[in-house]
Structure 1
Amino acid sequence: MNAVEIEAAISNLAEQPFDAAEFPFAFLAAFGNKDTTLKRLRAGNNNTSDVPGGVLLRYSIHIAVCETGTVANTLRALRASLATAKAKAKFILATDGQTLEAEELGSGETIACDYADFPNQFGFLLPLAGISTIKEIKDNPIDVRATGRLNKLYVELLRENPDWAKDERRADMNHFMARLIFCFFAEDTDIFNGDVLFTRTVDQFSERDGSNIHEVLEIIFRAMNTKIADRADAGFRPWADQFPYVNGGLFSGSTEVPRFTRIARTYLLHAGGLNWKEINPDIFGSMIQAVADDEERGALGMHYTSVPNILKVLNPLFLDDLRTQLAEAGNNERKLLNLRKRMARIRVFDPACGSGNFLVVAYKRMREIEAEINRRRGEPHLGSDMPLTNFRGIELRDFPAEIARLALIIAEFQCDVLYRGQKQALAEFLPLNAENWIVCGNALRLDWLSICPPTGTGVRVVADDLFDTPLDQAEIDFENEGGETYICGNPPYIGATTKAPKGASKEVKERLKKEAEIRKTDLQSIFGKLTNTWGSLDYVSGWLMKAAEYGRQTKAVAAFVSTNSICQGQQVPILWPLIFATGHQIAFAHTSFKWANLAAHNAGVTVVIVGLSTQPSKKRRIYALDRDDNISVKEADYINAYLVPAQDVIVKKRVEPFGELNAMIKGNAPTDGGNLLLNRSEVKTLGLTQQQRQQVVRRFLGSEDAINGKARFCLWLGRTEADALSTNRSIAMRLENVRQMRLESEKKQTQILANTPYLFGEIRQTGREFPIVIPRHSSENREFLPFSLGIEGDIVADSASALYDAPLWNIAIYASRLHLIWIATVCGKIKTDFRYSNTLGWNTFPTPLLTEKNKADLTRCIEDILLAREAHFPATIADLYDPDNMPDNLRHAHERNDEVLERIYIGRRFKNDTERLEKLFDLYIKMTATVAKIKPAIKTKRTKNA
């Protein structure tokens, strides 16, 4: 369940007559607990509560229903309960049906309210559904409640008006919803100069069955699009004349309204009954955009981007600088005035604005600074010098674009009320400005210079591949002459390739295919003339490249939230040389962190933030999260494309590893159509003697086998063994199937392999080695890279790589945090899995010169790891390295290994991953430079010998 669904379920529970016996189970059901869980609790099998009237759900909550007036005492009993502690409950809750109290045991935070009001506290309780509590939702749940009410109304209206769901009418429907949102907000903030004027008018003058609501709304909308002076001739009814003139494009055009049902009318009035005065435009807009999207509606309420995350972009981009200048100005009126003038010319441009959350947060934070300037100058009455037209955006879909503009309007009004007072805010709010500063369109196809033109008379724009129409004088933004432009945003998280989910319908597959083609064309239009390897770039790369070209023309500074894959692996050498060629450098960066939403049990997407500038400061900043989610800041002279404080370098594949590391070799490919591979039961049906089985049947280990402990086998034959077993019908049939499969292949090389059907297609070992199996992919959730020890004779599959007969200290290096961070950076990921590469990851890993004592210490470390694993036999690698259930002795052994290795590198533990990468890149640059110097001498010597 998502936050909106939970709020709706709790609200429904609070509206029902209180049932003491049923309440705990209904409450748990509202937070998404399964019927089977509730059934066991009802039966008493899993209910270990030791408090009268109590229901205890392990790892979740201890609830007790009590006698009237005893809520506080019951809560104390729950807190002191031994069962609460033993079950590791996170919350306790007590109610008598009149009042309700609850406590989060970890933080000690409590709530107390009337029973009927407890739905207003649902944000406090969201962790019960696996949803991280977000302060804005916790403190003020109106945004989630409003989203839920509007969604019900929207769905009901589309059911009654199916034509409005079609593409040609969807824009009308979305525009109608935007009008409703404005009306709800306006009536609760005195903009309509009357208490709940809109909701009350609809209620009084519409039929109970909803049959004439469309007529009432059409009249109201027409009134708000008609100036007061012109209304005498329009013949409006007295109740419509009460509404002010709004215009500004919001009520212009068609005023047609979809038909209502009785249920739709009820939903409309329920939505109007909320207090929209408290709406947060920086939250609400982002959440409400899902209402108008059929595919996103299932994720309703999850599209919330937290303000702290947005500020991770905006603060280093420009807000920190404004605050610094404010602090330096002190009470100097001239400096304060200069800062205010500077801010009035700042433009914030989000070319992937969605419903405008970045723009709204930027506006509100700038208004805070401006209000402080006015306070220090003794001018608190002054209006804002920052026009909304300085906050510009591009959004592909029409409804979010409309909501973005509406969110900015609401933010402006709320700021005016806060800093200038209700009376002044109301006096200047209407009519709305008719200028549209949010453009609906494809940001990768539109000319950004035409949407956010360069400023000032000294601007000179030169045509190029991305901006092929130079602007004339009329298209230059003289109002903000000499001002700054900051580009920011959160473009779509879409990789180079996207596959339809398992079981997807034909229609979904076709739609996804069509969307993929559009994205491909978008990227080709940007990168096609620059490189022929653009096909493996993530979609966000298009925004970064366009921002770099825009900044080259205008000196704008940009910062985007991006999938972290653009700063890892194969995308780095494709994208970043092109960006750097425009004269841009990385001005600041935030290394990988989770960009989470309000989905239950959703860890979110792993992202980075990259700031681009042609004139970065001398000291650049890298922000990173430590293990406790605290932000650390490191100053650097340079930030490279991997977001490491090191020189600009691209890590390239190598054919052999540095130093004394053993070669890591890709596994063996059967190319057999499955005929050389066997499970345990198939081995028995071959009819082989014990001696024959030992000679030709080998354990076959791929990534899945190594991690999950699967048992697979293969036929490992040479010519001699194949001839000796030629009379074995089972084996002969399998070899014939291999031969036929290879002959039918379209590849010439595979057809040639048909001559030796008893051999694997690709052979990279003799079969007499001791292999250490390295899985090709591993979940990013694991804290350590997995490996598996084979025995002599095991065959490694091509889904893995292997170290053959390698000393154990090699594994100590592979299994370290240092190596995992290197792999995550230079090899990248596929979906959420580390993508391990022997040539790009192992062979490039920089290792210092190791003494014999170093090797002995590392060998002891890996022996301890293996002994800890052995102690938990038969647990699989997947079991042992589950981050939530990793055995303490195994974790300790790995941490000891990390400490020993890191002391070899720098004499102590590294402070964080940024410091680890800084050291590794420094070593890599030195080692590659050394190799480059040595190689020519070797070549010359070989030539002479030849």
Structure 2
Amino acid sequence: MSKLNEKQLVTDLDALAQNAVPTPAFLAVFPFRLLRAYGMNETRVRRLEQGYKGVDLVGGVADLIVPKLIHYRAATAGNDVDDVIADLKTEQNPKKTPGKNAPRFLIVTDGVALRIEDMKTEESLKGESLADLEIEYDLLLPLAGRERYVAPAEREADVKAARHMREIVDAVRAHDPVWNNDTHQEALNTFATRILFCLYADDSGIFDPEWSPTSGKKPDQPFASMIAGEATCKDGSEMKAALQKAFRILNMPLDDPQRANFAPRFQKLRYVNGDLFAADLQIPDFDGRARRALMKAIDLDWKDINADIFGSMIQAVAGDAERSEFGMHYTSVKNIMKVLGPLFLDRLESDLEDAQRRGDRKALEALIDRLANIHVFDPACGSGNFLIIAYREIRRIEREALAALGRGQLDMTRQSKIKLDHFHGIEPNDFACRTARLSLWISQIQADRLMSEIGLTPAPILPLHDAGDIYQGSALEIDWDLVVSPANTNNGETYIVGNPPYLGSTYQSAEQKADMDRIFDGHLRTWRNLDFVSAWFKLMVDHIRDHGSRGALVTTNSLCQGESVPTLWPWIAEQGVEIFSSHTSFKWRNSAAKNAGVSCAIIAIRRNDDPTKERGDKRLHVVNGKGRQADIESRKTDNINAYLIDGPNAIVEKASKPMNGLPEMMQGNKPTDGGHLFMTRQERDNLLETHPAAEKFIKPVVGSRELLHSLERYCLWIDDNDLNEAMKMESIARRVDAVRKTRMASPDRQANEMADTAHQFREHLLWEWTLVVPVVSSEDRPYLQISILPSTVVTNLAFMLPNPAPWALSLMATRMMHQWCNVVGSKLKTDTRFSNTLVYNTFPVPNLTDDRKKVLDSCARSVLKARQPYLDEGKTLAWLYSKDMPAELKSAHEALDLEYETMCIGRAFHDDAERLAWLFREYEKMKKRHDAKNKKR
């Protein structure tokens, strides 16, 4: 394989997806194009092509097998891709197809959907289109001789551990279905957690006080030894009694006289302490399958399992409802570090490096003392991932500081000063709370073991002492001051972190709406449209204001867009706090179904008078690109406003009329018709065949979808004075009557009132020419996709500007307007959502003299001229404004941008950041002029 250029790879994969068609000819060339994209030597590809059978006489496509690499099979007509990939997996079962040359990847496509299975890592891709491979392109990187990077939660050892735990629980449930019941879920969860601890304790030496990681020997494994001696029956019948005894003795102090009642093989199971083994809970019966599952798990080496993946591992063993709940909480290490780094870890790291460089022992000791006084609080902690990573990183910095002090000058018995009870959380699920505490214990054990690497003696592990300070309950009901406040943290540094649940207002339950009412009542005028995560954000701001803590939360990006900004952020500004770090919108990558497609931001808050702030220490982290191809640009900034922009703290509010002197734009006509006023091309033709005179009552109609994809659609458009004539035509009368019935049956009183005018849309607005702007369009498009249409009805799924001058089209077609819409408008996921009141009416414009309008008129004509040949060929606006927009159209827009931006500042802007900074400054000026003018009235 040649050296792979990943940017070129994504480009090639995009081209492959764009040219995909569900035909045998395409399916036959697909695997070779794929191999070329991943850098396979051209000579080798041609050799494979020469030996390939291709398409047979009946349209069948031959398999392609490349030893060790791929087994490709086309899903030809009538074959489902999932069935085909399932057949391939069966055929490639190692027991049936042994050998070192077995293909690693199974690949199936029908020219539309794509299925890939990695037989080594058991990862897969279920793409609804070939374009999905652009995002998950690294799945096939081994074709180029490079392994895919996987986060710690996805490493092979961790995946195997989760799989083993799942197999134990599945076997238990299969043997005794009562363990599928909700009434047994808590006991099953606790049982799984205990097994997990024992497996880890065995392999990491927790049960062996004499063992050292540097000894070169394996530790005693009393749990495995006990199972081997006490549960010898292969039918699993002895396992329950053996585990009952083990769990009891693990809860007995070493000086408890009852320990003498246990056989010698149990005595090395040392007292654990804590609440892990405290309760005397029911243990499930085992059969042969369950015993084999546990024995296989014992054979796995558990000492290298990451504590930060325990939460996701628990997802594998919990009940379906709880797995969904845990999934909402689980956050990858990569995303956690986006929160913790800018919030406090980066500065600690810098202080460490500075002290190491200077050899400053006093500074190193001061840093160690400071670390011991840090408190981290996650008010939506789930199974503890944020707390675990924070603890691990703080211990790492402490360990490196101790190492820098020098082994020869250290007390070898010196222990860590970092306490687990400095890591606080709130979580409503009891099992998640216990998982978080267990994970923190494991983290402490792992960190203590690493102390031996710098010559220090690790602290005794058992019995466990302090634990993570995890509260069970609702973070929206528990007083956060009871968890962390200067009084109970000894005036230490407190950092609030987390990934609270996101839930749009439409999806909030009655209980959640009541939570929102309780949190915001008396503070905001309205809050019903805010996302559920805003409640955590409000409580975090309260805590920062009152106690000087700092905080950073992962939040849905809706909090920094559209109407949420004027709803929430003026109150936040009044609390004397500021954003000092932010991470702009990025797609959430998580296995939880409810989080699929969610776009997030990270916002870090501190008090304006925070004593640790420094001039120029604010940082804006901007995501450029998409998916795994995206990179993050980090830049210093003087200010970060509510839109996460380097600009003034302007809050853009809806304006019912244009503040900028532009002609008035309005939303399209709302039908409220049950679909009866609309017609397809065929329905229109049928109507005209029966009633040729009906042509005067039919108009072309567009909304966002029709505009973007050139979809032909029609509607009835009847003026009041033509109603009698129209109603004489039976087909029209039938449609109008259906509209009347629909409106009468509606719970909307206004719809009821419109029943008398059932021949019309709610609004009845039509012009000779209309500039049409879609309500929603893809984030990938560099400009708004607008058009000027003749005598066309516009629905409420688009906005319209009647009889526009060409220069108005130019304004709408600038990158400035697109950027303003991206930032100020609302979003549907990450797609652009236009609004006349929030975007168009508030858009700052330079002084548009007649001469300037003439220049813009000319630019508009150039843009339209560049588009027309493609539209004549049947291309759509969606195609024209894709990332591969035609060169002449791109040039026309760039020429327009240069002219318009020169009107703004005398030259082109350097980048979007400069564009937005100018827009927000000009908005502030425009708003002041507008308010002053209204005040005089």
- TM-score, length basis structure 2: 0.79
- Specify the alignment match of 1:820 in structure 2: 818
Out of 303, 306, 326, the position equivalent to 1:280 is 306
Whether 1:372 aligns to 2:397 is no
Q: Flag the 1:163–1:584 CA change in 2: closer, same or farther, 3 A.
A: farther
Which of residues 568, 577, 581 in structure 2 aligns to 1:584? 577
Distance 1:673 1:225, change over 3 A: closer
Q: Percent of aligned positions with the same letter in both sequences?
A: 35
Identify which range, 828-837 or 401-410, moves more after superposition: 828-837
Counterpart of 1:482 (choices 491, 496, 510) is 491
Q: Partner residue of 2:236?
A: 210
- Alpha-carbon distance in structure 1 between the residues aligned to 2:155 and 2:739: 66
Give 1:507's aligned residue: none
User: Once the two structures are superposed, what CA deviation does each residue of 1:499-527 show, in whole Å capped at 9, x if it has no partner?
Assistant: xxxxxxxxxxxxxxxx7122212222211
The separation in 1 between residues aligned to 2:187 and 2:36, in whole angstroms, is 46
Q: Structure 2: how far apart are the matches of 1:346 and 1:539?
A: 29
Contact 2:898 2:908 in 1 (8 A): yes
SS at match of 1:429: coil
Q: Name 1:189's counterpart in structure 2.
A: 204
CA distance in 1, matches of 2:770, 2:911: 32
Give 2:684's aligned residue.
683
Letter in 1 for 2:859: L
Note the C-alpha offset of 1:291. 3.1
Answering whether residue 34 of structure 2 is matched by residue 59 of structure 1, we say yes
- The answer to whether the aligner puts 1:242 opposite 2:268 as a matched pair is yes
Match of 1:775 in 2: 774
Q: Does the 8 Å CA contact 1:283/1:305 hold for their aligned counterparts?
A: no
* C-alpha distance in structure 1 between counterparts of 2:711 and 2:544, whole Å: 54
Q: Look up the SS of the partner of 2:603 in the other structure.
A: strand
CA apart distance, 1:128: 6.9
Cα separation, 2, equivalents of 1:679 and 1:289: 48
Distance 2:905 2:638 in 1: 21
Partner residue of 2:842 out of 837, 841, 844 = 844
Q: Give the direction of change, closer, same or farther, for the CA distance of 1:817–1:60 in structure 2 (3 Å limit).
A: farther
- Report SS of the residue matched to 2:303: helix
Which residue of the partner structure matches residue 186 of structure 2? Answer: 171
Partner of 2:504: 495
- Counterparts of 2:504 and 2:593, CA distance in 1: 23
Q: Work out the CA distance in 1 between the residues paired with 2:237 and 2:899.
A: 77
Structure 1 residues 245 and 541: alpha-carbon distance in aligned structure 2, compared to 1, 3 A threshold: same
Report the CA distance shift for 1:315/1:775 in structure 2 as closer, same or farther (over 3 A).
Answer: same
Aligned to 1:441: 473
* 1:800 Cα deviation after fit: 1.5
Cα displacement (A) at 1:810:
2.8
Cα separation, partners in 2 of 1:652 and 1:599, compared to 1, 3 Å: closer
| Offset at residue 657 of structure 1 (A) | 3.0
SS at match of 2:800: strand
Q: Name the CA distance, whole Å, in 2 between partners of 1:778 and 1:138.
A: 35
**Offset at 1:199?**
3.2
1:492–1:540 Cα contact (<8 Å) kept? yes
Alignment partners' CA distance in 1, 2:839 and 2:512: 30
- CA shift, 1:208, in A, is 0.9
CA contact (8 A) 1:491 1:543 kept: yes
Aligned to 1:519: 512
* Partner Cα distance (1:905, 1:523) in 2: 43
Match of 2:638 in 1: 637
Amino acid in structure 1 at the alignment position of 2:283: V
Q: Identify if the C-alpha distance between structure 1 residues 603 and 738 changes in structure 2 by more than 3 Å, giving closer, same or farther.
A: closer
Q: CA deviation at 1:783?
A: 4.4
Does the C-alpha gap of structure 1 residues 516 and 315 become closer, same or farther in structure 2, counting only changes over 3 Å?
same
1:22-101 mapped onto 2 (5 Å cutoff): 46=27, 56=31, 59=34, 78=44, 93-94=68-69, 99=100
Mapped to 2, the partners of 1:270 and 1:139 lie a distance apart of 20
Separation (CA, whole Å) in 1 of partners of 2:877 and 2:435: 49
- Shift in Å at residue 870 of structure 1? 2.0
1:852-891 mapped onto 2 (5 Å cutoff): 852=853, 854-856=855-857, 858-867=859-868, 869-870=870-871, 873-881=873-881
Number of matched residues?
825
Is the partner of 1:622 in helix, strand or coil?
Answer: strand
**In structure 2, do the counterparts of structure 1 residues 103 and 675 end up closer, same or farther at CA, with 3 Å as the change threshold?**
closer
Q: 1:434 to 1:211 in 2, by over 3 A?
A: farther
Partner of 1:19: none
Alpha-carbon deviation of 1:863?
Answer: 2.3
The one-letter amino acid of 1:367's match is R
The CA deviation at 1:651 is 0.9
How far does the alpha carbon of each residue in 1:574-632 deviate from its partner, in whole angstroms, 9 at most, with x for none? 22223233322222212112231258999742111111111353432222122363332
Matched, 1:409 2:418: no
Matches of 2:257 and 2:465 in 1, distance apart? 20
Report the Cα distance in structure 1 between the residues aligned to 2:103 and 2:762, rounded to whole angstroms: 65
**Cα distance between partner residues in 2 of 1:603 and 1:896:** 39
Contact 2:825 2:835 (8 Å CA) reproduced: yes
- Could you report, residue by residue, the CA deviation over 1:895-928 in whole angstroms, capped at 9, with x for unpaired residues? 6655554555456665554443222111111222
- Picking from 329, 339, 351, the partner of 1:313 is 339
CA deviation string 1:869-904 (max 9, x = no partner): 426x32334455555x76666566556655554555
Shift of 1:256: 3.1
Cross-structure match for 1:4: none
Mapping of 1:233-272 within 5 angstroms? 234-272=260-298
| Cα distance in 1, alignment partners of residues 896 and 390 from structure 2 | 46
> Which of 388-397 and 744-753 deviates more?
744-753
Asked if the contact 2:586/2:623 (under 8 Å) is kept, the reply is yes
**What secondary structure is seen at the aligned counterpart in 2 of 1:276?**
coil
Distance 2:192 2:424 in 1: 22
Which 10-residue stretch deviates more, 600-609 or 643-652? 600-609
- 1:809 Cα deviation from its structure 2 partner: 3.7
Contact 1:383-1:420 within 8 A present in 2 as well = no
Please report how far the alpha carbon of residue 663 of structure 1 lies from its aligned counterpart in structure 2 after TM superposition: 2.5
Q: 1:191–1:868: structure 2 CA closer, same or farther, 3 Å change rule?
A: farther
Q: Distance in 2 between matches of 1:138 and 1:757?
A: 59
CA separation in 1, counterparts of 2:754 and 2:153? 65
Question: Residue 713 of structure 2 corresponds to which residue in structure 1?
Answer: 712
| More displaced 10-residue stretch of structure 1: 346-355 or 431-440 | 431-440
Q: Secondary structure at the match of 1:245?
A: coil
Question: Aligned letter for 1:384?
Answer: S
AA of the residue aligned to 1:390: H
Quickly say closer, same or farther: Cα 1:933–1:294, change in 2 above 3 A: same
Q: How far 1:749 sits from its partner (Å)?
A: 5.0
Q: Is the 8 A contact 2:666 2:799 kept in 1?
A: yes
Q: What does residue 156 of structure 1 align with?
A: 171
Tell me the SS of whatever aligns to 1:772: strand
Query: How far apart, in 1, do the equivalents of 2:350 and 2:657 lie?
Result: 50
Counterpart contact for 1:868–1:890, Cα < 8 Å: no
Q: What pairs up with 1:310-389 in 2 under 5 angstroms?
A: 310-329=336-355, 330-378=358-406, 379=410, 381=412, 382-389=414-421
Query: Does the 8 Å CA contact 2:694/2:726 hold for their aligned counterparts?
Result: no
Question: CA 1:749/1:75 → structure 2, altered by over 3 Å: closer, same or farther?
Answer: closer
- How far does the alpha carbon of each residue in 1:400-444 deviate from its partner, in whole angstroms, 9 at most, with x for none? 222222222122222222233499666511111254512222111
The equivalent of 1:699 in structure 2 is 700
Unaligned runs of 5+ in 2: 1-19, 55-63, 71-96, 106-117, 126-132, 142-146, 209-218
Q: Output one character per residue of 1:703-741: Cα deviation in whole Å (capped at 9) or x when no partner.
A: 232233332222222233223345333333444444555
TM-superposed CA distance for 1:746, in Å, is: 6.1
| Cα root mean square deviation, aligned | 4.0
Contact 2:426 2:472 in 1 (8 A): yes
Contact map agreement 1:220 1:240 (CA 8 A) in 2: yes
Structure 1 residues 635, 262: closer, same or farther in 2, change over 3 A?
same
CA contact 1:122–1:138 (8 Å) conserved in 2? no
Q: Distance in 2 between matches of 1:368 and 1:380?
A: 19
Query: Does the C-alpha gap of structure 1 residues 825 and 432 become closer, same or farther in structure 2, counting only changes over 3 Å?
Result: same
> 1:409 & 1:315 partners in 2: Cα distance?
23
How many angstroms apart in 2 are the aligned matches of 1:419 and 1:625? 37
For 1:673 and 1:138, the matched residues in 2 are separated by 49
Distance 2:310 2:283 in 1: 23
